[in-house]
Homo-oligomer: A and B are copies of this chain.
């Protein structure tokens, strides 16, 4: 991640603000406000604004006139109760806004979360930065042989080199031809003064999907957790998980009590189906259970056994 001098200065200016407010604050989050936290090779996330903290959830749940909080203990109990019973509306009372720089193919996954507000850098209007995502060697995974949308082992040796070279060369050439068509370089210099360039809204189509874009992305706490539950999960693509993991850290700094409940009930928890419950009940009683009699498919059976770490029962 490189910032231009100007960008670094703008961020510094924001960070040096000291405003007085009657609003509640999140002191740990304030410490990293505006900071560009590096993700992947050229990406970042920055928390640029927020509203509310753990007490806001309690306040809304109680529809109180004041802070709505009692003791830290009681507040934590209420937040855990709300999380456990899917009383989700109080979590919508907090809001957070990020500035994110990310590769376009990841932006396309991300944008599927519709309950958020987004302003993306416009490639109709401006020229995109000359930055592409190139995976680190250890993330250059082969196609999984068992899971059609998963990753297998890491590619090695010559094949890895070849892939990286192809990615790099293609991104650079298509970008260079993008400039050619625009008749303008990424730094704004004109290539041929006697020509007019192709419209930006057209030229951009020549870029590869690992080109970086950026946006402002704002969401409420409930929808942030929905996002993180899916995107920080080990089924998620590594590249979006890198963003989600960094956002989990900001969640912890922002609303530490909610974070604990979220990790316990959502991230670390599991769902058991009606049929799955019957099996667990039998296992607790020490009874024999067989996949064949369970009504579960092999895949489902294995998912259940893994959830409860019953490795000897995997089929």
Report A's interface with B, CB cutoff 8 A.
3, 6-7, 9-11, 13-15, 17-25, 30, 33-34, 48-52, 56, 59-61, 63-67, 77, 80-81, 84-86, 89-90, 92-93, 95, 97, 99, 103-105, 107-108, 111-112, 114-115, 117-122, 124-126, 133, 135, 140-145, 148-153, 155, 159, 162-163, 166-167, 170-171, 173-174, 177, 180-182, 195-202, 204-210, 214-216, 218, 220, 230, 235, 237, 263-265, 267-277, 280-281, 283-284, 286, 297, 299-300, 303, 307-310
Select which of B66, B153, B272 is within 8 A of A14 by beta carbon. B66
Indicate the member of A208, A214, A308 with the most B CB atoms within 10 Å: A208
**Cβ-closest chain B residue relative to A77:** B297
List, in ascending order, chain B residues with CB within 8 A of A196's CB. Answer: 142-143, 145, 152-153, 155
Question: Which of B89, B125, B300 is in CB contact (< 8 Å) with A119?
Answer: B89
CB A8 to nearest CB in B, in angstroms, measures: 8
Closest B residue by C-beta to A36? B65
B-side contacts of A198, CB under 8 Å: 140-143, 155, 163
- Interface contacts beyond A19-B21, A89-B119, A167-B206: sample of 17 additional A-B pairs, CB < 8 Å, sorted by A: A11-B66, A20-B21, A49-B51, A51-B97, A63-B121, A90-B119, A92-B117, A93-B117, A93-B119, A104-B209, A124-B237, A126-B148, A141-B202, A163-B198, A170-B174, A264-B274, A265-B271
